[in-house]
Amino acid sequence: MNRIVIVTGSTRGIGYATAAEFLKHGDRVVVLCRHRNHVEKAVKDLAASGKGEDVLGLVADIRKPKDVGRIVDQVLEHFGRIDVLVNNAGVAVYRPIEETTDDDWDRILDTNLKGTFLFLRQVLPVMRKQRKGIIVNISSGLGVEGMAGFSAYCASKFGVVGLTKVIADEVDLPGIKVYAVLPGAVDTTLVAGSGLEMDPADLLKPEYLARRIFAVAEGKASSGSLVEVYS
The whole-angstrom separation of Cα 57 and Cα 202 is 32
Count the neighbouring beta carbons within 10 Å of the beta carbon of residue 54: 19
Does the structure show a pLDDT above 80 at 201? no
The set of catalytic residues is 153
pLDDT confidence bin for 187, thresholds 50/70/90: confident
For 132, the enclosing helix (H) or strand (E) is none
Contact status, residue 13 vs residue 209, Cβ threshold 8 Å: no
Q: Where are the domains of the chain?
A: 4-229
Reported as a single tens digit per residue, the pLDDT across 68-101 is: 999 999 999 999 999 999 999 999 999 999 999 9
For 209, the enclosing helix (H) or strand (E) is helix 206-216
- Predicted local distance difference test score (pLDDT) of residue 13: 93
Which of these ranges, 73-77, 98-102, 152-156, 187-191, has the smallest mean pLDDT?
A: 187-191
Return the CATH superfamily for domain 4-229.
Answer: NAD(P)-binding Rossmann-like Domain (3.40.50.720)
Angle at 190 between CA 96 and CA 193, to 5 degrees: 60
Contact status, residue 66 vs residue 117, Cβ threshold 8 Å: no
pLDDT confidence bin for 50, thresholds 50/70/90: confident
